[in-house]
Amino acid sequence: MKCYHCGFENVDTAMYCEQCGTQLRQPEGGQQNGYQPAGPYQQAWPPVVDYQYESGKSASTVSMVCGILSIVIPCIGIILGIVAIMYSNKAKKLGVRNGQATAGLVTGIIGLSGWALYLLLLIFSLTMVASFS
């Protein structure tokens, strides 16, 4: 049974979506809270799309990609680290609590602090060389 909220393919006997937790059909015994369920093998129409959550998932992906690139790419790693942290926070504010947002936050912090430390050591070594010459 395909979830009408996220599109995840669940087992046919599932009452709730394994991916997002949306109720797929009513428990045995009838209506609850005035909700009229669709048949067990029918999708509700029109499908409900949570655009805010979808935007948060995109933000978490951007966060993870920028976080990884902030570690790998010199020179702009500091900027990408900041972008990764910002998009991770945006994703979490939009309700996305997945591993991508967390990975983006962690890799963004590592990339930002690593390149900041590198720049500080570079400046320190250049001042030491300049003071000895």
Are both 86 and 97 inside the same structural domain?
A: yes
- What is the extent of the structural domain holding 122? 51-132
* Residue 70 CB contacts under 8 Å (≥ 6 apart), including other chains: 77, 78, 79, 80, 81, 83, 84, 107, 108, 110, 111, 112, 115
- The count of structural domains within the chain is 2
Are both 79 and 33 inside the same structural domain?
A: no
* Residue 117 CB contacts under 8 Å (≥ 6 apart), including other chains: none
Instruction: Specify the higher pLDDT residue, 25 or 112.
Output: 112
Mind listing the pLDDT tens digit for each residue in 39-92? 555 555 556 667 777 888 899 999 999 999 999 988 888 999 999 999 999 988
What is the structure's pLDDT at 43? Answer: 55
> pLDDT-based confidence at 3, cuts 50/70/90?
confident
d(CA 29, CA 52) in angstroms, rounded, equals 34
What is the structure's pLDDT at 70? Answer: 93
- Whose CA is closest to 63, among 25, 36, 31, 90? 90
This prediction's pTM: 0.58
